[in-house]
């Protein structure tokens, strides 16, 4: 009887191992496929070859501070603005731009669909993939002229897509990488990150339309007061806000999001 039980337990353990290995293999395969797909986008768009300064790369890993020059200067703004967006739209006409954070590996085509769910499980070229795409809220104008422009992306376990946004819980990571750039055919726009925090999907963070200046101020106040890092930056009246939104993780409520917010600046 004991021998039979041991045999059953061993079989169960083996089956569990095989299942876990299959899940891991599938996940790694999807990661690799996504990498190839987005490398293709980089090649088509002829994005500039961004050389990450050694100290900035270290900060991305350890959270250590870097020099002022590595923090604020984006020597690639003009190159990103003159990317070949037409080549990208020949593959997918819903490509509206490109988003990147200088000093990090976050650099992706920006999509927009009438359905916010569409790119949750589709790469930029329409291929089914768990990494999905980086995409703009369907209610926003692709011109980036709204008071609050919202961009979504998955928090991938290998730190691709918006996976690295969680690092903004550390003020030293913000010091190293405070700028977000969004480029389209009209130009390249720089945004200075001023807040990072968890919030509910029903909060003012995700508001698009504002009836008056007080409602706009409520958005800014909510962000500054909720932020887990003190950047010392408070956007002024009429500022254009960029909201980067990603999930928290499978272990928490599905209506909670991690957001990083930035204000448009002229650098």
Beta-carbon contacts of 154 under 8 Å, excluding residues fewer than 6 positions away, are 120, 130, 131, 132, 161, 162, 163, 246, 247
pLDDT band at 62 (very low <50, low <70, confident <90, very high): very low
In the chain, domain spans: 36-265
Cα distance between residue 221 and residue 110, in whole Å: 28
Q: Which of 132, 100, 91 is nearest to 262 (CA)?
A: 100
**149: buried, middle or exposed (CB in 10 Å: 19+, 13-18, 0-12)?**
buried
Residue 76 has what pLDDT? 61
Asked if the model's pLDDT at residue 48 lies above 60, the reply is yes
Beta-carbon contacts of 134 under 8 Å, excluding residues fewer than 6 positions away, are 99, 108, 109, 110, 111, 151, 152, 153, 161, 162
**122: buried, middle or exposed (CB in 10 Å: 19+, 13-18, 0-12)?**
buried
Q: What is the mean pLDDT of the chain?
A: 82
Q: How many residues does the chain have?
A: 267
Cα distance between residue 131 and residue 39, in whole Å: 14
Cα distance between residue 102 and residue 50, in whole Å: 8
pLDDT band at 22 (very low <50, low <70, confident <90, very high): very low
Looking at the domain that runs over 36-265, which CATH code has it been given? 2.40.260.10
pTM value surpassing 0.75: yes
From 138, 247, 248, 265, active-site residue: 247
pLDDT band at 49 (very low <50, low <70, confident <90, very high): low
pLDDT band at 27 (very low <50, low <70, confident <90, very high): very low
Residue 92 has what pLDDT? 97
Asked if the model's pLDDT at residue 104 lies above 60, the reply is yes
**37: buried, middle or exposed (CB in 10 Å: 19+, 13-18, 0-12)?**
middle
pLDDT digits (tens, 9 = 90+) for 106-149: 999 999 999 999 999 999 999 999 999 999 999 999 999 999 99
Answer yes or no: 247 catalytic.
yes
Mean pLDDT over residues 225-231, rounded?
97
The DSSP code for 161 is B
Residue 81 has what pLDDT? 67
Neighbours of 185 (CB within 10 A): 12
**What are the Cα distances from residue 59, in Å, to 20, 54, 104, 260?**
33, 9, 9, 18
Please provide the distance, in angstroms rounded to a whole number, between the alpha carbons at the two ends of the chain.
Answer: 76
């Amino acid at each position: 009887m004991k021998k039979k039980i041991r045999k059953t337990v061993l079989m169960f353990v083996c089956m569990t191992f095989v299942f876990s290995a299959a899940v891991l293999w599938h996940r790694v395969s999807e990661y690799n496929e996504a990498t190839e797909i987005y490398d293709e986008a980089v090649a088509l768009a002829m994005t500039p070859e961004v050389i990450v300064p050694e100290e900035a790369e270290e900060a991305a890993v350890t959270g250590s501070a870097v020099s002022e020059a590595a923090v604020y200067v984006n020597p690639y703004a003009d190159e990103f603005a003159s990317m070949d967006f037409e080549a990208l739209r020949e593959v997918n006409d819903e490509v509206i731009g490109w988003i990147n954070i200088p000093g990090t590996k976050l650099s992706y085509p920006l999509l927009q669909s009438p359905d916010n769910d569409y790119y949750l499980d589709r790469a930029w070229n329409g291929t089914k993939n768990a990494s999905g795409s980086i995409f703009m809220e369907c209610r926003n104008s692709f011109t980036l002229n709204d008071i609050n422009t919202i961009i979504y992306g998955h928090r991938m376990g290998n730190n691709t897509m918006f996976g690295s946004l969680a690092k903004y819980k550390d003020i030293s990571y913000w010091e190293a990488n405070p700028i977000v750039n969004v480029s389209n055919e009209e130009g390249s726009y720089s945004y200075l990150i001023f807040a990072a925090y968890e919030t509910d999907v029903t909060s003012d963070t995700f508001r698009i339309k504002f009836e008056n200046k007080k409602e706009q101020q409520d958005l800014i106040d909510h962000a500054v007061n909720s932020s887990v890092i003190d950047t010392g930056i408070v956007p002024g009246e009429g500022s254009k806000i960029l909201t980067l939104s990603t999930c928290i993780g499978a272990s928490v409520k599905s209506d909670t999001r991690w957001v990083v917010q930035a204000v448009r600046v002229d650098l």
